[in-house]
Amino acid sequence: MKLRLVLWIVLVTGVSACLAWSAYLAYSGKFNRQWTILFRSGPVIVFPATLELGERELGELATASFTITNIGGGELLIDDVHMNCACTGLEKETEGRYTRVDSIRLGPNETADLRVRVSVQGAIGTLSRNTVRFRTNDAMYPEAAIEVITSKIVGGISCFPTGAIFGSVLVGESSKQLLEIRDGAIHPRTIVHAESANHEQVSIRLLPAINDERNANSSSNGLLVGYLEVTLNALSPGPVNTTIDFYLSDDPERKRSSIPVIGHVVDMVEVSPTLLVLPRMSSEGKVYYGTCLFRCTQGKPLALEIDSLPNGLFAKIDSDGERAELATVRIEWSPDRETELEQEYRRIIRFRSIVGDKERFVEVPVVCRLTKE
C-alpha cells in the first residue's frame, strides 16, 4: 500500500513538473523555437549577443569578427541594420574586401562571416558600449541586437576631429583637412610613421607641434603631439572609404591606431540613364527615342550644348525652367529602313556642360540595334 502511494506521488509530481516546464517553454517562446528547429519549419537565427573588444586605445578603430548562422529550415532574412554608435554596422567579406551590408539572406544551414568596426570613444578608464540592431524574420527575434563592449578605454593616439570626413568632392579637384594628433598615454610617445591605405586617393603629411604649443594645448584628451594634413585626390567618381594608420616610437613595427577617411567623388554633371538602348519596346511596338536627365551635382545653373552627334542620331535639349541645375535631352534614332542585315551599333553623343566658369565633357553611349522586321 505504501509503495503504491509513493509511486502515485512520484507520478503526480513528475506530471506536474512536466506541465510546469511545458508552460514555461510556451510562455517564453522557447517551445515554438525548439519545434521550429526540430521540424525545420522556419528560419532560426544564431548570433552572439555581445562582442568583447577588451581594452582599447582612445581613437582606435577596433574590429570584432563573428558569425550569424541559420539553423532552421526556412530562409533567414536580416535587414534594417542600424546602430547607435560611431561604427560601420555589419560588414561582409567579398573577394577579400569588406563592404557594408544592409540586408542578408541565409538559406538553411548557411553561415555568414561578418565583422563590425568601432571607433573607440569615451573617457579614459571607462567602459564603452555600442549596439548594432537589426530586424529578422525569426519569430523569436523580430528585433535583434549585438552589443559591442570595450572593457576599458586607455590613453592612446587620437585625432580631432576623429576622422577626415570630406563629403562630396568634384572629380579632378582636391580637398584638404588638418587634424590634431594627441596622445593620451601617461608617457606620451612620438609618431614614427603614418601611412595612407590608398596612396593615390589619399595623401598625408605629418606636421610637428613645437614644445610650447604641446604644453599649452594639453587637455583631458591627451598631449598635442602634431598635426596631420589629409588631402583627398578626386581622381575618379565613386565612394571614398579608407584609413590612415599610425606607428609609434614605443613599437615602430606595430600599427597602433587608424582613423577613417570618408567621402564621395562626384562628376560636375551626372546623367541618368548612363546608357541608352534603342529601340525600346512599348505597348505600341518599337520606340526609337529615349530621354536622359542631366543634373549639376553642385545645384548650380547648368548650360548644356551638343559637341558631337553621330549620323542617324538626333538630340534636343530642354532646360528645366524652374530648376536651373537640370536639363533634359531627347535622343532619337532614325535607322536605315532599307538595310536588311541584323546589326548592332554603339555610338557616342558628346555634350559640353558648363557650370559657372567650369567646363566638362559628358558622353552618353547609345546602343542601336537594327533587326529584320
Question: From CA 292, how far away is CA 295, in angstroms rounded?
Answer: 10
Model confidence at 339: pLDDT above 60: no
Question: Count of residues for the chain?
Answer: 373
Cell of 190: 612620438
Q: Pull the grid cell for residue 288.
A: 526609337
pLDDT score, position 92? 83
Label residue 50 by pLDDT band (50, 70, 90): very high
Assess whether 253 and 306 both reside in one domain.
Answer: no
The answer to whether 292 touches 276, Cβ cutoff 8 Å, is: yes
Are 288 and 235 within one domain?
no
d(CA 133, CA 79): 9
Q: Is the pLDDT of residue 30 over 70?
A: no
Q: What is the mean pLDDT of residues 320-331?
A: 87
The confidence score (pLDDT) of residue 32 equals 62
| pTM for this prediction | 0.50
71 within some domain: yes
User: Which CATH number do you get for residue 68?
Assistant: 2.60.40.10
Domain edge (last residue) among 235, 266, 297? 266
Is the same domain home to 314 and 240?
no
Whether 145 and 201 share a structural domain: no
Query: Does residue 111 sit in the same domain as residue 162?
Result: no
Beta carbons within 8 Å of 21's beta carbon, 6+ residues apart: none
* Rg, the chain, Cα only: 31
d(CA 103, CA 145): 14
Q: Are residues 79 and 150 in the same domain?
A: yes
Counting residues of the chain whose pLDDT is more than 70, the rounded percentage is: 77
Q: Say what the pLDDT of residue 224 is.
A: 84
- Residue 301, in any domain of the structure: yes
| Residue 40 falls inside a structural domain | no
Instruction: Confirm if 327 and 279 have CB atoms less than 8 A apart.
Output: no
Instruction: Decide which of 114, 133, 154 is a domain's last residue.
Output: 154
Same domain for 251 and 320?
Answer: no
What is the mean pLDDT of the segment spanning 169-195?
83
Confidence of residue 16 (pLDDT cuts 50, 70, 90): low
How much is the pLDDT for 25? Answer: 44
Q: What are phi and psi for residue 213, nearest 5 degrees?
A: -70, -40
pLDDT for 39: 56
Could you say which of 154, 184, 218 is where a domain stops? 154
**Could you count the other beta carbons within 10 Å of the beta carbon of residue 302?**
23
Question: Does 235 share its domain with 288?
Answer: no
Structurally, how many domains does the chain consist of?
A: 3
Q: Does the residue 273 lie in any domain?
A: yes
CA 138 to chain centre: 25
Is the domain of 147 the same as that of 161? no
- Residue 285 sits in a domain of what CATH number? 2.60.40
pLDDT at residue number 317: 92
Across 18-22, 81-85, 88-92, 181-185, least confident range: 18-22
Task: Tell me the pLDDT tens digit for each residue of 200-258.
Answer: 999 999 888 876 665 566 566 678 888 899 999 988 888 899 988 888 777 776 666 67
Helix 30-39 vs helix 2-28: angle between axes, to the nearest 10 degrees?
90
Q: What is the mean pLDDT of residues 13-39?
A: 54
Q: Within 10 Å of residue 25's Cβ, how many Cβ atoms?
A: 15
In a domain, 38, yes or no: no
Beta bridge partners of 54: 150
Q: What is the mean pLDDT of the chain?
A: 81
Specify if 191 maps to a domain: yes
Q: Could you list the residue range(s) of the whole structural domain that residue 162 is in?
A: 157-266
Do strands 276-278 and 358-370 pair parallel, antiparallel, or not at all (unpaired)?
Answer: parallel
pLDDT, one tens digit per residue, over 358-368 is 888 999 999 98
C-alpha pair distances (Å), 343 with each of 72, 166, 369, 372: 51, 46, 6, 9
Same-domain status, 164 and 262: yes
